[in-house]
Amino acid sequence: MPDLKPPQLAPLPPLPAIRVFEAVARHLSFTKAAQELGMTQAAASYQIKVLEERIGAPLFLRRPKQIELTEPGQRLAPAVSEAFAILGQAYAAARGGADGLLCVTTVLTFASNWLAQHLGSFQLAHPALAVRLDTSSRLTDFAREDVDLAIRSGGGKWPGLESHKLLDADFTPMLSPKLAASIGGVKQPADLLRLPILDPGDIWWTQWFEAAGVTGHDLARRPGSSMGAQAYEANAAMAGHGVAILTRALFKNEIADGRLVQPFDLVGDDGHAYWLVYPTARRNVPKIRAFRDWILAEIACP
């Protein structure tokens, strides 16, 4: 019988150097990569030099105050990112139950005013997949946190992440019917200045009043009150404590029930929206694909 030998694997690059390369390519910064990996910038630069010597070509163009990937670096970076994502998934699965848990981090108002009201249909469609919600507004580091997807507001362009637009983050004043009636109704935008303004330091207020042609609003001198989330401001508005500036799509039920009124059709828009984001290298992970397909279909429903 012929002597059958397993196929020889291609030689692997030095793994510490590959780990540094992935971080530098993701941040396009030796300093940030070194901070993330807990090493000095000199040590990170040395690992890249080792890898470049093995490859026989530079991986980064070093310019004043910035670096760029060379052509070999651009070819290597996506494969390295995907390889680390696959390794991370395998590691999580080895720890037990990872495939049955989907962790979604989202801002509080989206979680309470949209996601919590719709998530039941996702659970019914995927009964073997448990969903864990984390409410936070800070940036998510997918490389270091056990998070599958994030829902954040912003412009929608984040390096290394796939992003899908969910809802426009527009804004307009809302208040309780009782508070509006307390001054005989809100008929002109300037009438709002006769009432308490919730979070007057919010830039949305300035932008909305300017669009409405209201000058001399002097919001900066009003007592400051920042609640940190639209959900809290909406609750204060429904209780009659003041006028909140809110995103329409997140308060449809409150408006329909008459707990809040939107006195004017004028809506501000600074170009921001709510986005579903996740690492590009993980776009084909089944549980991520399942949640992505579900939420985009759910958002599209009238």
> In whole angstroms, how large is the CA radius of gyration of the chain?
25
Residue 194 phi, psi (nearest 5): -85, 0
- Quick one: pLDDT at residue 187? 95
Q: CA 43 to CA 196: how far, in whole Å?
A: 56
Q: CA 18 to CA 4: how far, in whole Å?
A: 32
Q: CA 182 to CA 26: how far, in whole Å?
A: 55
Full pLDDT tens readout for the chain, 302 residues:
444 455 555 677 888 899 999 999 999 999 889 888 888 989 999 999 999 999 999 999 988 888 999 999 999 999 998 888 888 766 665 544 446 889 999 999 999 999 999 999 999 999 989 999 888 877 777 877 888 999 999 888 888 889 999 999 999 999 999 999 999 999 999 999 999 999 998 999 999 999 999 987 788 777 767 778 999 999 999 999 999 999 999 999 999 999 999 999 999 999 999 999 999 888 888 999 999 999 999 999 86
* DSSP state at residue 10: P
Q: CA 29 to CA 12: how far, in whole Å?
A: 24
Judge whether 43 and 34 are in contact, CB under 8 Å.
Answer: yes
- Quick one: pLDDT at residue 66? 87
**Cβ neighbour number for residue 56 with a 10 Å cutoff:** 7
**Domains of the chain, CATH where assigned:** 15-94 (1.10.10.10), 98-166+272-300 (3.40.190.10), 172-256 (3.40.190.10)
